[in-house]
Chain A
Amino acid sequence: MYVCRDWGGQGMVTAANLLGMAAVNDGNYSIVIPFFGAEKRLAPTESYVRISSQKVYEKGEVGYPDVIMVFHPEVITKGKCYTMPFYYGLRPNGWLIINAESPLLSEEDARSIADLNVRVLYVPASRIALDVAGTELATNMSLLGGLAGATDIVTLEGLEKAISQRFGGGKFIASATTAALDDVLKKKYAKTQELLEKNMAAIRKTCEFVKNSPSADSTPS
């Protein structure tokens, strides 16, 4: 069970949907639910993803996640989060995947997280998005690649299919606000095909980055 934490407007809800779609493409069951206040950018936003080989009934927030993904560092540094501390409920031996260039946990948080034997992974997702896809708007894609690199809960093939379903003229229907952002993206890339390819490139690049990163399969001491 996974929690994604973010500022509103950064693409985290879309990423959670893609993760759920990818899990279904992989042959699993999945439930995705977003949580936010009145819709606006820069407010705390969360999305909960449950993935299982069996039908999932449980609804609502994931109180005890196995993985927490942080899409914006200010979730941590400025407490832009629904729970305090931001890793509240994270299960022992779980994963913490953070979009940041370098470590930013306070000493106290780092200690508590080490006590849980949680694996912490810093991924420069925004930089990879800018380098590979040419826009920070693909940060959410990078982080999905990070998850696929660190764990085996979702495959790159599942993600690729999900991205083509989502952006490739499939039957996915976005909410009005998401649709507006999609238009900005589509103009930027001119062609849907290019959009798909660049999104996948961001995913692959981050996946590779994480696989080569020492913390990917080691636990903190």
Chain B
Amino acid sequence: MLERKVVSPEYMFFEAPREKKYLIGNEAVAEAVKRANVDMVISYPITPQSEATHIVGDIYAQGYVKDYYRGEDEFNVMSAMAGAAMGGVRAFTATSGPGTLRAFEMFPCWAGERLPIVCAFMTRGVNSPLTIQPDNIEIGWLADTGMLIFHAEDPQDFFDMILQAYVIAEQPDVHLPVGVCADGFFVTHTREIVELTPEDEMLPPYDPSVSPVVTMDMETVPVRHMKDPFVMKSNYISYNTHASWQQEVRAAAERARKYITRYMGSPVEVVHPGAEILFMASGTAAAQARVAMERMRAEGIDIGLVKIKVIRPFPEKEITELAEVPRIIIIPEHNITGWLARDIKSRVNNNAKIYGGPRVFGGMTMPPEMLVEETKKLLLNLVTA
């Protein structure tokens, strides 16, 4: 293991020199964990995630992570992650599709317990029929757990977002779990150039003493709602406590916005904002839309792109403002439910101009050629109408 020094998040994100490496997304995850000064990692293998926590196991063996073990299944892992975070350590894990669903009960628990866990979700189709291929339907479900949700476009985003996630999650007035999502295979197994910060520089350690909920150990009893569950008393106070605590979790997510701006720049990236047509997309759908946009602009079509990096807290203000200008908004997605279109349509005035699609699911590629064709069809319909 290299001799390492602690650097400030501001230095690491904005000033540190970057070295170009040719990595797959799963390798970029391990590089992020190495620099995130993580105390504990608990893993359970599932494609397309397995390689990431496998490599994190290697860096544990080298000394970069203090503790690491393999749990018995995803529910076990996510429960143990809660235990680690309640005990006051910085924890990391990752899972995919069916693993996410198996462990699902724990995600609202993490949020309710105000645990700043970072979990990578390498999204995958869910059964049945059985699939291991990319499909991000699970992000739509995760969006309502109270966790903060980021969505990476490529291995570079995946690396950066995991580091940013820890810094944002651990702010005392936020203190919430973050799900950093990336489309399986299209990010996890895709090899491309990733710019890494120096290997011997790491984030400052987690300070549990500033946590808004008490860290649990043999001398300190758990947070009030854990040690003396209100469920035991069916009365107004118990109902009201649950209601107000859920509101507090959502309020904490709102308070995360200023840190998202500080450390991620903006929850959205905008290319050609004044265009007549706008793609709004997240994850690798944004990458495909970027290529389709360039091809159409070369043909003289006035089209732009809004890449949505943060799914929760949803960038409401940015999206409503950006939606004012274009005549058509197209939302390509890698899932059948169209959770992003649902999010956007429910917030935008005059949402008849929003086209929720095209959607590619079940593991197939979203060809830029198809996005170009669909966009042209919409334009033609508009002219005919």
Q: Interface residues, chain A, CB within 8 Å of chain B? A: 17, 20-21, 24, 29-35, 37-38, 56-61, 63-64, 171, 173, 175-176
Minimum CB–CB distance from A156 to chain B (whole Å) comes to 19
User: Which B residues lie within 8 Å of A173 (CB)?
Assistant: 27, 30, 55, 58
Tell me the nearest residue of chain B to A64, going by C-beta. B369
Cα distance A58–B55 in the bound complex, in angstroms: 26
Q: Is the CB of B189 within 8 A of A34?
A: yes
Cα distance A34–B183 in the bound complex, in angstroms: 14
Q: Which of B167-175, B210-218, B284-292 contacts A (4 or more CB under 8 A)?
A: B284-292
The reply on B239 being an interface residue by CB < 8 A is no
User: Which A residues lie within 8 Å of B368 (CB)?
Assistant: 58
Q: Interface residues, chain B, CB within 8 Å of chain A? A: 21-22, 27, 30, 47, 50-51, 54-55, 58, 132, 154, 183, 185-187, 189-193, 284, 287-288, 290-291, 364-369
Q: With A24-B193, A29-B193, A33-B189 in contact, is A58–B27 under 8 Å at CB?
A: no
User: Which B residues lie within 8 Å of A31 (CB)?
Assistant: 190-192
Tell me the nearest residue of chain B to A21, going by C-beta. B22
Tell me the nearest residue of chain A to B291, going by C-beta. A58
Q: Is the CB of A60 within 8 A of B290?
A: no
The listed residue with most A CB atoms (<10 A of its CB), out of B27, B186, B192, B193, is B192
Q: Is the CB of A57 within 8 A of B186?
A: no
Show 12 A/B contacts (Cβ-Cβ < 8 Å), sorted by A.
A30-B191, A33-B186, A59-B183, A59-B288, A63-B369, A171-B21, A173-B27, A173-B30, A173-B58, A175-B51, A175-B54, A176-B54
Cα distance A55–B174 in the bound complex, in angstroms: 36
Tell me the nearest residue of chain A to B360, going by C-beta. A60
Q: Which of A32, A37, A175 contacts B190 (CB 8 A)?
A: A32
The listed residue with most B CB atoms (<10 A of its CB), out of A33, A61, A63, is A33
Q: With A58-B287, A59-B288 in contact, is A32–B365 under 8 Å at CB?
A: no
User: Which A residues lie within 8 Å of B47 (CB)?
Assistant: 38
Tell me the nearest residue of chain B to A176, going by C-beta. B54
Q: A33-B190, A59-B284 are in contact. List 6 more A-B contacts (CB 8 A).
A: A33-B185, A38-B132, A57-B154, A59-B154, A60-B284, A173-B58
Q: With A24-B22, A35-B185, A37-B132 in contact, is A59–B190 under 8 Å at CB?
A: yes
Q: Is the CB of B132 within 8 A of A60?
A: no
User: Which B residues lie within 8 Å of A59 (CB)?
Assistant: 154, 183, 186-187, 190, 284, 287-288, 365
Q: Is the CB of A20 within 8 A of B284?
A: no
Q: Is the CB of B365 within 8 A of A60?
A: yes
Q: Per DSSP, are chain B's interface residues mostly helix, strand or loop, or mixed? A: mixed
User: Which A residues lie within 8 Å of B27 (CB)?
Assistant: 173
Q: Which of A20, A35, A38, A176 contacts B22 (CB 8 A)?
A: A20
User: Which A residues lie within 8 Å of B288 (CB)?
Assistant: 57-60
Q: Which 6 A-B pairs have the closest CB atoms?
A: A60-B365, A61-B365, A32-B191, A59-B186, A33-B190, A57-B287
Cα distance A34–B21 in the bound complex, in angstroms: 19
User: Which A residues lie within 8 Å of B183 (CB)?
Assistant: 59
User: Which B residues lie within 8 Å of A29 (CB)?
Assistant: 192-193
Minimum CB–CB distance from B364 to chain A (whole Å) comes to 8
User: Which A residues lie within 8 Å of B291 (CB)?
Assistant: 57-58
Cα distance A175–B47 in the bound complex, in angstroms: 12
Minimum CB–CB distance from A148 to chain B (whole Å) comes to 18
Q: Is the CB of B132 within 8 A of A63?
A: no
Cα distance A63–B366 in the bound complex, in angstroms: 10
Minimum CB–CB distance from A174 to chain B (whole Å) comes to 9
User: Which A residues lie within 8 Å of B284 (CB)?
Assistant: 59-60
Tell me the nearest residue of chain A to B367, going by C-beta. A63
User: Which B residues lie within 8 Å of A35 (CB)?
Assistant: 185
Tell me the nearest residue of chain B to A23, going by C-beta. B22
Cα distance A21–B27 in the bound complex, in angstroms: 15
User: Which B residues lie within 8 Å of A34 (CB)?
Assistant: 185, 189
Q: Is the CB of A56 within 8 A of B365?
A: no
Tell me the nearest residue of chain A to B188, going by C-beta. A33
Tell me the nearest residue of chain B to A162, going by C-beta. B22
Cα distance A58–B191 in the bound complex, in angstroms: 12
User: Which B residues lie within 8 Å of A32 (CB)?
Assistant: 190-192
User: Which B residues lie within 8 Å of A63 (CB)?
Assistant: 365, 367, 369
Cα distance A184–B47 in the bound complex, in angstroms: 24
Tell me the nearest residue of chain B to A55, going by C-beta. B193
Q: Is the CB of B193 within 8 A of A17?
A: no
Q: Is the CB of B186 within 8 A of A60?
A: yes
Cα distance A37–B185 in the bound complex, in angstroms: 12
User: Which B residues lie within 8 Å of A24 (CB)?
Assistant: 22, 193
Q: With A37-B132, A63-B367, A173-B27 in contact, is A20–B191 under 8 Å at CB?
A: yes
Q: Is the CB of B185 within 8 A of A30?
A: no
User: Which B residues lie within 8 Å of A57 (CB)?
Assistant: 154, 287-288, 290-291
Q: Is the CB of B55 within 8 A of A60?
A: no
The listed residue with most B CB atoms (<10 A of its CB), out of A58, A175, A176, is A58
Minimum CB–CB distance from A46 to chain B (whole Å) comes to 11
User: Which A residues lie within 8 Å of B366 (CB)?
Assistant: 60
Cα distance A173–B54 in the bound complex, in angstroms: 10
